[in-house]
Amino acid sequence: MKANLLQLSIANGVANITLNNPPVNVLSGSLILALKQMLKELSDNNDVKVIVFDSANPDFFIAHVDINILEEREIFNQLQATAPEGFNLFQAVGEMLRDQPQVTIVKLKGIARGGGAEFVTAADMSFASLEKGKLAQCEALMGIIPGGGATQYLSEKMTRSRVLEVILGADLFDAATAERYGWINRALPDASLDTFVSQLAHNIAALPEGVLAKTKQVLSPVKNIAGFKAENDAWESLVFNPAVTEIMMHALQHGAQTVTGELKLEELLRKKEVGSKII
């Protein structure tokens, strides 16, 4: 496993986890496993009340699931075998966040697409930089649908017509629009985002004992097992199509999972080869 994928600091009841998987913070099997191990350890730490996630990369929070994740076969199989009943390994990432006893907060300063956007949506709260925070469910451009819980999580936050726009439009949403749609809590000026999230996290951590736990208990997340199964079945019916592999390999050859390519991924995925030319 790659070292230093996660950087952890704890102060006054708040744990800060910084994601660090260069060059673009793809959600690899190694990163999922590291998150799973760290969150399990924190779940047993009664002194930690709030977990804040951010990124060491100023341009990317989590780019998306690693296109090469199958190359981590041993970790992939381990994650698949230990996923909760009724969930695939990617849905299990979001459920891991939603089941965490602490309050989970995402501080979004870069791009989060695909599985990265699902991570943001699954957190208890999310706050984004107006200037830098961006979200997308771009799976449709790869010939698949989201398979990590997006259909379920987004349907709790916005209308069906907006979920359809997010998934089928497959465009990158700016933070202001994401806030208006209910995708995130708030979009804030980049210069004030750190202060706002820090103050909120520490205010929550300082609440009298029991308030946080009982609030999360009363407002427990909806687990529509049939909905998650339908999402997984639909995703599985598409993901093994040879055309999907072709699209993903084409994307990798033309810059996917590099900084330059990921900054304009939707444009890259919409290009098609005709003969030796790209249009």
Task: Decide if 158 contacts 169 (C-beta within 8 A).
Answer: no
Q: How far apart are CA 28 and CA 25, in angstroms?
A: 8
Query: Considering the domain boundaries, does residue 144 fall inside one?
Result: yes
196 three-state secondary structure: helix
Rounded average pLDDT over 50-78: 95
Written as six digits, the tokens of 117 are 């956007």
Structure token pair of residue 149: 């819980």
Phi/psi of residue 28, nearest 5 degrees: -85, 170
Q: Is it the case that residue 277 has pLDDT exceeding 70?
A: no
Please give the tally of structural domains in the chain: 1
CB atoms within 10 A of CB 142: 22
* Nearest one of 115, 152, 122, 120 to 133, comparing CA atoms: 120
Mean pLDDT of the chain: 95
Q: What is the pLDDT of residue 165?
A: 98
Residue-range definition of the domain harbouring residue 129: 6-205
pTM of the full predicted structure?
0.95
Q: For the segment 21-52, what is each residue's pLDDT rounded down to a tens digit?
A: 999 999 999 999 999 999 999 999 999 999 99
Q: What is the CATH number of the domain that holds 57?
A: 3.90.226.10
221 falls within a domain: no
Task: Give yes or no for residue 271 having a pLDDT over 90.
Answer: no
On whether residue 253 sits in a domain, the answer given is no
Q: Does residue 245 form part of some domain? A: no
Give the residue from 149, 66, 86, 113 showing the smallest Cα distance to 263.
Answer: 113
Residue 80, domain member (yes or no) = yes
